[in-house]
Amino acid sequence: MKQLLCLVALFGALSGCGTTTVSSALRALDNEPDLITINREAELAYESGEAAKAEALYKNLARRMPNDSETWLRLGNLYARNNRPDEAANAYQRALMANNADPRAWNNLAMVRLRQAWAALLQAQLNSKDKTPLAVQTDANLEQLAKLPVLEGESRKIDPEMGATRY
């Protein structure tokens, strides 16, 4: 009989601990800001040009919902908008890992990669010698890329003082 009472007391204590742990976990979740609220705040910060705030909020969302493609897409857009192409490409790739069928993520990844290709070709042009086969090919590649709508106007951004005068 004594053993039975001890067993009942032990189960009661364990079930009480379980309830306390679950209850405190639920209370902790109730105290955290709602994901929808965080998302709204992130969108407002993004739209109003508060890049640092938007980034912090979107990163928070990405940590809490790592498989949400929309969050990664928006984070990628934020990085792309702020001239951080490597981080943008990584975010778009995370979006695609979550939703491989999102044409927006594929398109945005391609646009970032095209701009990176443009920048790499400009560096090749700056560092190549005139009239070498590589210089001729680099110039031809830049001419072809310049025809793409996404890169229209990029050739006007070339600073002649930097040495990129062939294109």
Task: Break the chain into its structural domains and give their ranges.
Answer: 32-101, 106-167
Closest CA to 150 of 109, 106, 114, 103: 114
Over the stretch 73-128, which tens digit does the pLDDT of each residue have?
Answer: 999 999 999 999 999 999 999 999 999 999 999 999 999 999 999 999 999 999 99
Question: Which structure tokens are listed for 83?
Answer: 């001239």
Check residue 12 and give its pLDDT.
41
Q: Tell me which of 3.40.50.300, 1.20.1250.20, 1.10.1200.120, 1.25.40.10 is the CATH number of domain 32-101.
A: 1.25.40.10
3-state secondary structure (DSSP) of residue 149 = helix
Half-sphere exposure of 149 (CA within 13 A, CB side): 0
Contacts 24+ apart (CB under 8 A), 51-57: 51/78, 51/81, 51/82, 54/78
Over the stretch 37-74, which tens digit does the pLDDT of each residue have?
Answer: 999 999 999 999 999 999 999 999 999 999 999 999 99
Of 17 and 126, more confident? 126
Mean pLDDT for 127-135 is: 91
